[in-house]
């Protein structure tokens, strides 16, 4: 899947920061899109998640949270509203140098609050990282229980006939 808007990065830039530097979670800004593109498509090139084009990221930048250390974006996660009562947690990715520090959890947890504020009681994800999402209270379900997702996105996905992602769902209070 190569196009002018998608060229997967082979590697990610090394990020130099102080060992004691604090991680900040904030809403994404337009200037963050090139780094989101690098991080997401680094994992997409490895087969760990679906790719995103620059166009997709600019159009959905307001749905993203980012993790930042010393002014460098090192991770992201987004909430994509699918229907009146359903939203998807998408594009959860943390730079490999910063994994295992709870940053993914810190990126996703504010999305629960956002869903509650929007009046959306159910979140779902399609993932290859079932253990991570299970630790956040998601549970596995059959993909067919997500007809809005299948109708909107899966029917046009390049992995449609060989999808290996696991559908998971979580209700928010």
Which overall architecture, per CATH, does domain 23-171 show? 3-Layer(aba) Sandwich (3.40)
Q: What confidence tens digit (pLDDT) does each residue in 112-151 have?
A: 999 999 999 999 999 989 999 999 999 999 877 876 666 5
pTM of the complete model? 0.86
What is the arrangement of strands in the sheet containing 64-69, beginning at the earlier edge strand?
Answer: 23-27, 64-69, 72-83, 86-94, 122-127, 166-171, 139-140
Q: What confidence tens digit (pLDDT) does each residue in 28-46 have?
A: 999 999 999 999 999 989 8
Of the candidates 164, 125, 157, the one whose C-alpha atom is nearest the C-alpha of residue 1 is 157
Separation CA 115–CA 171 (nearest Å): 10
Query: How is the chain split into domains, by residue range?
Result: 23-171
Q: What percent of the chain has pLDDT over 90?
A: 63
**Could you write out the three-class secondary structure of 146-163?**
CHHHHHHCHHHCCCHHHC
Q: Which residue has the tokens 């869903």?
A: 115
């Amino acid at each position: 899947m190569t196009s002018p808007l998608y060229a997967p990065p082979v590697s990610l830039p090394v990020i130099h920061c102080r060992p004691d530097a604090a991680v900040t979670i904030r809403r994404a800004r337009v200037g963050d899109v090139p780094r989101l593109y690098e991080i997401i498509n680094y994992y997409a090139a490895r087969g760990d998640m679906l790719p995103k084009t620059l166009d997709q990221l600019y159009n959905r930048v307001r749905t993203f949270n980012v993790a930042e250390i010393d002014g460098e974006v090192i991770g992201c996660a987004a909430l994509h509203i699918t229907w009146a009562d359903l939203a998807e947690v998408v594009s959860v990715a943390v730079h490999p140098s910063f994994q295992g520090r709870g940053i993914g959890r810190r990126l996703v947890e504010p999305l629960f609050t956002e869903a509650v504020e929007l009046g959306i009681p159910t979140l779902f994800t399609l993932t290859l990282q079932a253990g991570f999402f299970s630790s956040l209270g998601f549970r596995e379900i059959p993909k067919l229980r997500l007809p809005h997702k299948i109708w909107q996105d899966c029917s046009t996905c390049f992995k449609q006939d060989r999808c290996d992602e696991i559908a998971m769902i979580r209700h928010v209070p």
